[in-house]
Amino acid sequence: MGVLGECWLGAGKKAANIVGIFPGTGVGGGIIIHGEFLTGAQGAAAEIGHMQIDPNGPLCTCGNTGCLEASAGRWAIERDICAALKSGEKSLITKIAGNNIQQIKSSMLAKALTAKDPLVTRIMTQAANAIGRACVSLNHIFNPDMFLFGGGVIEACGDMILNTAEKALKNDPFFKQLKTPRVVASKLGDDATMLGAAAMAIKKTHTLGKISLYPTLRLSPSKKPLVKGKVISKTSFLRADGKLKEPKETLSGKIGQNEIEDLIRKSPDVLWIAARSPKTITLTPKANGVLKKKKIACAILPTAKALAAYNASTDRKAILFYL
């Protein structure tokens, strides 16, 4: 469901062929081919977590040995860390987790990784390598546009796993002459699954595509933006999840890092700034840096033009009405 959600409204919007890998407690999977969700004969397809990647690997919860999630799921990472601690290895994780070492949360792993804890780094590297190997095989089978990663472990330690997967794909001699698929992280976070379930329900009723998160914007007779029949009379913005919000801080003509981070919450692909006189607005270098890093396009336009651009776009989008 998470992959379907991302495909509808998140990081997978522009891809027709997606392999989704969601390492959380286990490793979830979802595959979309030519825009269609792969379910298999009995609805049991795309169990990427139970792909056997190591014949001599550890026992999995499913009864097989050497499944991907038996190396890369959070439960497997926990198991390996506990075993190493029992054998006498020292790690920051005992301090980070307090007394409850049986329940190592993804955020704790992230803290230990940032602190370059040798034990956690080693075990997380093993997990990431296992995911990299799985990606290489999945690439051969499905040749997707993108590998889409989500789930708790990715939200906490995504950079490391995504980099490892990307490297494994780039180093694959079989695919040397072909383009490496994109490796991207989820944009919808915890909302992905629920939105995916909604997508499936809508698809069942054959209306997907006609429904949008976003309202159609118009200009009021007084030339102010009109959102769902309401005239916008003070500076506010439509966030990427379609919600109308007011900026946390009062905006001046110079938009800085904090202000821009507020505007791009919920991860849009594109942000418009609609203003009566666009020339009076600038972004600080830091704000531009944030947009560049997150690959978010931004344009400052006169109100009517910005509204038209917003309406025409099928991207995940946000717009600031600067009044």
Which residues sit at the interface with Zn ion, rule CB under 5 A?
50, 60, 62, 64, 67
Element spanning 260, H or E: helix 257-263
Please state the closest distance from residue 31 (CB atom) to Zn ion, in A.
Answer: 17
Question: By the 8 A CB rule, do 123 and 81 touch?
Answer: yes
Structure token digits, residue 269: 């692909």
User: At residue 52, what are phi and psi to the nearest 5 degrees?
Assistant: -80, 120
User: Which whole-number Å values give the CA distances from 35 to 19, 58, 257, 271, in the listed order?
Assistant: 11, 35, 37, 26
Distance separating alpha carbons of residues 187 and 205, to the nearest angstrom: 26
Distance separating alpha carbons of residues 162 and 197, to the nearest angstrom: 25
Which alpha helices (H) appear in 92-246, and where do they start and end?
93-96, 106-114, 118-142, 152-170, 191-204
Distance separating alpha carbons of residues 108 and 91, to the nearest angstrom: 12
User: Which whole-number Å values give the CA distances from 80 to 76, 87, 127, in the listed order?
Assistant: 6, 11, 10
Please state the closest distance from residue 48 (CB atom) to Zn ion, in A.
Answer: 10
Please state the closest distance from residue 266 (CB atom) to Zn ion, in A.
Answer: 34
How far is C-alpha 289 from the chain's CA centre? Answer: 20
Residue 60 or residue 128: which is nearer to Zn ion going by CB? 60
Distance separating alpha carbons of residues 301 and 43, to the nearest angstrom: 48
